[in-house]
Amino acid sequence: MDFSKFNTFGVQLHPEFTPQNPLMAQRAVKGVSYHLTLEGLTEVQESPDLQVVVYAILGEEKQLHVTGYGYGAGWRMGGGTGTATTTTYTVGTLVVDMYDARTKELAFRGTAQDTLSDKPEKNEKKLNKALEKLFDKYPPEKK
């Protein structure tokens, strides 16, 4: 796809996406706008060349921690003990879809994933880093 034909963009949250954290969703949209502006595009409210849709997927992951030890003097003599615990953490995936507004064809999809923190300031830093990585791949090189 010829990305040089895109001069303007409009960005929005996915219409079916209800953010669990509206402030972070707003930051994601602003971050996408910022990066596209750095690429030389202009944000417009009506009739953009590129329609950008942002959404996030949250999921829980579990990690199993097993510890144990054994002792003994030989065959059938000895013992041991062990414990197993699980840790649950939240993983967030940010998805940025860019469509040619005229043809409705998907022009670019960027994704970034990271473990979320209980601390909002850490999540904001992770979001900014994720957007930097995501936009390192935009626009994709011509094949």
Which sequence spans correspond to the domains of the chain?
Answer: 3-58+93-113+121-136
The reply to whether omega before 139 is within 30° of 0 (cis) is yes
> How many Å apart are CA 128 and CA 122, to the nearest integer?
10
Mean pLDDT by 10 residues, the chain (143 residues): 94 86 90 96 97 86 75 66 79 92 96 90 93 92 72
Q: What is the pLDDT of residue 53?
A: 96
Name beta bridge partners: 98: 52, 108
- For CA atoms 35, 52, 102, 9, give the dihedral sign: negative
Residues 67, 83: contact at Cβ < 8 Å?
yes
Q: What is the pLDDT of residue 31?
A: 96
Name beta bridge partners: 87: 63
What is the CATH number that goes with domain 3-58+93-113+121-136?
A: 3.30.160.150
> How many Å apart are CA 135 and CA 114, to the nearest integer?
16
**CB neighbours of residue 4 within 10 Å:** 8
